[in-house]
Amino acid sequence: MTIREPSDVQIINNLLSQPFISEHFQDEFDAILKENANSLIVIDFYATWCGPCKIMGPKFVKMSSEFTSVVFIKIDVDESEDIVSRFDIKVMPTFIFMRNGAQIVRGSKPFRFLSFAIRCC
């Protein structure tokens, strides 16, 4: 698991008490989904070279500190191809909302993502 510097996100001390998680490998990702199955999980599939991803990234991180009951995960599409393939990601950013192991919302429009997150949380 890769964790960003404290200036970008809060360092994870305990997975269940700290909602923001960064890039993952398949086994770690599956464990996070299983451990947090009853929580709302929001996954941001992004690329470091993607303009809209660069704009949305700080908003996503900010939301992770505002909505502490939600698990926020960022997946770099160039570093986690197995997960990207599993979720059939074709455009970036793509946001997937999950609960109880199932996708409940999927989209690539940042405005829709933000408005849905605000209503859900």
DSSP annotation of 101 reads T
Active-site pick, 21, 41, 53, 63: 53
* Lookup result for tokens 């599956």: 30
Q: Is 121 a catalytic residue?
A: no
**Tokens describing residue 26:** 């398949």
Q: What is the DSSP string of 4-49?
A: --TTTSPPPSSTTT--EE----HHHHHHHHHHTTTS-EEEEEE-TT
Active-site pick, 3, 15, 33, 50: 50
Q: Is 53 a catalytic residue?
A: yes
Residues tagged active-site = 50, 53
